[in-house]
A = this chain, B = another copy of it.
Amino acid sequence: MSTLPAAILSELELQSIELPSWAFGNSGTRFKVFATPGTPRDPYEKIADAAQVHRYTALAPTVALHIPWDKVDSYDDLRTHAEDLGVSLGTINSNTFQDDDYKFGALTHEDAAVRRKAIDHHFECIDIMHATGSRDLKIWLAEGSNYPGQADLRGRQDRLHESLQEIYARLGDDQRLVLEYKFFEPAFYHTDVPDWGTSYAQVAALGDKAMVCLDTGHHAPGTNIEFIVMQLLRLGKLGSFDFNSRFYADDDLIVGAADPFQLFRIIFEVIRGGGFNHPDVAFMLDQCHNVEDKIPGQIRSVLNVQEMTARALLVDTEALRAAQLSGDVLEANRIFMDAFYTDVRPALAEWRESRGLPADPMQAFAASGYLQQIAADRVGGVQAGWGA
Contacts and interface: CB of A to CB of B under 8 A. Distances in A.
A253 B28 CA distance: 21
B325 A110 contact: yes
Interface stretch (A118-126, A286-294, A372-380): A286-294
Nearest to A200: B197
A259 B257 contact: no
A349 interface: no
Copy number in the complex reads: 4
Contact of A247 (B34, B189, B335): B189
Nearest to A161: B234
Nearest to A103: B34
Of the candidates A149, A195, A341, the one having the most CB atoms from chain B within 10 angstroms of its own CB is A149
Interface string A239-262: 000000011110101100111111
Contact of A251 (B188, B260, B321, B335): B188
A152 B335 CA distance: 13
A175 interface: no
A333 interface: yes
A253 to B, nearest CB: 6
B362 A146 contact: no
A31 B186 contact: yes
A248 B183 contact: yes
Given A234-B158, A324-B150, A343-B342, A196 B197 contact: yes
Of the candidates A234, A320, A329, the one having the most CB atoms from chain B within 10 angstroms of its own CB is A329
Interface in A81-130: 97-98, 100, 103-104, 110
Of the candidates A103, A248, A258, A320, the one having the most CB atoms from chain B within 10 angstroms of its own CB is A248
A154 B272 contact: yes
Given A201-B235, A227-B153, A183 B222 contact: yes
Interface string A137-158: 0000010011111111110011
A185 interface: yes
Given A30-B386, A31-B186, A201-B231, A291 B196 contact: no
A146 B197 CA distance: 24
A97 B261 contact: no
A153 B184 contact: no
Interface string A210-252: 0000000001111110111011011100000000001111010
Given A151-B332, A196-B197, 4 more contacts: A153-B226, A153-B269, A188-B248, A219-B220
Interface of A: 1, 27-32, 34-35, 97-98, 100, 103-104, 110, 142, 145-154, 157-158, 183-186, 188-191, 194-198, 200-201, 219-224, 226-228, 230-231, 233-235, 246-249, 251, 253-254, 257-262, 265, 269, 272-273, 290-293, 296-297, 300, 307, 320-321, 323-325, 327, 329-330, 332-337, 340-343, 345-346, 362, 386
